[in-house]
Amino acid sequence: MDLKGLDAGARIELDDLSIVEVIDPSQDGETIRIRYVEAPFDRQLIGTEATVDWDSVTGVVDGGDITTDLRGESRARDWVG
């Protein structure tokens, strides 16, 4: 996924099911600076910042319950209980 199209404030899902917010748009399309919003497997990450690679991004969160994956298909985020 080319990360250049993601604006600051966009929410994305990572391969560990975390939801993160884009802090700064990507300059190279391969890495992006993020802040953890939800981290179901490591709650200590919430609020922390990191840089992630394009291959960690599994989709763009369209709402609290829907994620659009890299193929453009929408799916429910029903793992959140």
Per residue in 25-42, pLDDT tens?
888 989 999 999 999 899
| Domain assignment of residue 19, yes or no | yes
Q: Residue 39's domain is classified under what CATH number?
A: 2.30.30
Residue 18 identity (one-letter amino acid): S
Query: pLDDT value at position 79?
Result: 47
| Domain assignment of residue 60, yes or no | yes
Quote the DSSP letter at residue 39: -
Place of tokens 């992630």: 52
| Domain assignment of residue 78, yes or no | no
| Domain assignment of residue 77, yes or no | no
Query: pLDDT value at position 68?
Result: 63
Query: pLDDT value at position 80?
Result: 43
Average pLDDT over residues 56-74: 69
Q: Give the total number of structural domains in the chain.
A: 1
CA 74 – CA 37 distance, rounded (Å)? 20
Query: pLDDT value at position 25?
Result: 85
